[in-house]
Structure 1
Amino acid sequence: MPSSDSYFASIVPGLAGPDAFELRSPKDGVYNCIAFAAGDTTRWWWPEHRSGYYWPPNAPMVQTIPAFVQAFESVDYVTCDSEHRDAGYEKIAIFAIGDLPRHAARQEIGSTRWLSKMGSLEDIVHNQLEAVSGEKYDEPVQFMRRRIRTTEGG
């Protein structure tokens, strides 16, 4: 199998070249980019009635931008106007081809860099949100944010 570097560059040209991205985790097929953006690494989020899939009960079981917005609202995200960093918030971007959601990325807390889960493969960090744009995921079409969550005692 080709290396992750060459494989990612072949499906998402913005990830080609030195320093285009860094691996952040080993391969893990338990969760996908939607779950990862929501902060859930325990299950695969997708609006289908399939074994092992999860979809928030308040969100319509359809693959549309409004349904994905409702899914992210279930974990306290609200829509916002841009991908630009807002102190005190974590942001996500929903990518779509037309009205068909294809990917979600999460902004790294305290940074302008972005985190993406690449299907059932690794999590990556990329400097530019648009690095994962292209034929496979198209463009970011919806931005959302939520207050940064803190842990007790930390």
Structure 2
Amino acid sequence: MTRISFPNFPNSHRDPFLITSTFTTNYNCIAWAYGDDTKWYWPDPDYIFYWPPGIPREITIEAFIELFRSIGYDICPNGDKEENIEKIAIFTDNNGEPKHAARQLPEGIWTSKLGPNIDVSHSITSMEGGEYGNVRVYMFRNL
């Protein structure tokens, strides 16, 4: 596995990403955090991408929270590692619009899909302050 930093993630130079997959356009970060590597998830109004039925098709933090609630997640105060708990982090830009989601792995590090590119493992710090903004909401579910 290769360690890399990306200019559009300024904190990745001190806490590099670890590449964990090859390039693929089959899925995006939302699908990866959701647990699906077969579809591109996005609530676009033109229905180009997949979005589960019954979840509002809007790019709002509320819709993304509802998406993850539909598979058993609930809001929690932080991304600290807890035994038998899986967590996700939803990132938003400065306007509060969702841009990214990451999932915590059992060892406590995070995994993300970088758009149409690669999967990476990383710290929350390495992802924040860059292209995807900052964590707005942490959610958890029991394993």
Q: Scaled by the length of structure 1, what TM-score is found?
A: 0.84
Ranked by relative contact order (alpha carbons within 8 Å, sequence separation 6 or more), the top structure is: 2
Larger C-alpha radius of gyration, 1 or 2?
1
Q: Aligned residue for 1:140?
A: 135
Superposition RMSD in Å: 1.8
Gaps of 5+ in 1: 149-154
Alignment length (residue pairs)? 140
Q: Scaled by the length of structure 2, what TM-score is found?
A: 0.90
1:72-111 → structure 2 map (5 Å cutoff): 72-97=68-93, 98-109=95-106, 111=107
1:7-86 → structure 2 map (5 Å cutoff): 9-17=6-14, 20-48=16-44, 49-51=46-48, 53-86=49-82
Q: C-alpha distance in 2, partners of 1:33/1:22?
A: 16
Q: Which runs of 4+ in 1 moved over 2 A?
A: none
Query: What secondary structure, in the 3-state scheme, does the structure 2 residue paired with 1:44 have?
Result: coil
Q: Aligned residue for 1:152?
A: none
Query: What secondary structure, in the 3-state scheme, does the structure 2 residue paired with 1:62 have?
Result: coil
Q: CA deviation at 1:50?
A: 3.3
Q: Aligned residue for 2:109?
A: 113
Q: CA deviation at 1:10?
A: 1.4
Identity %: 37
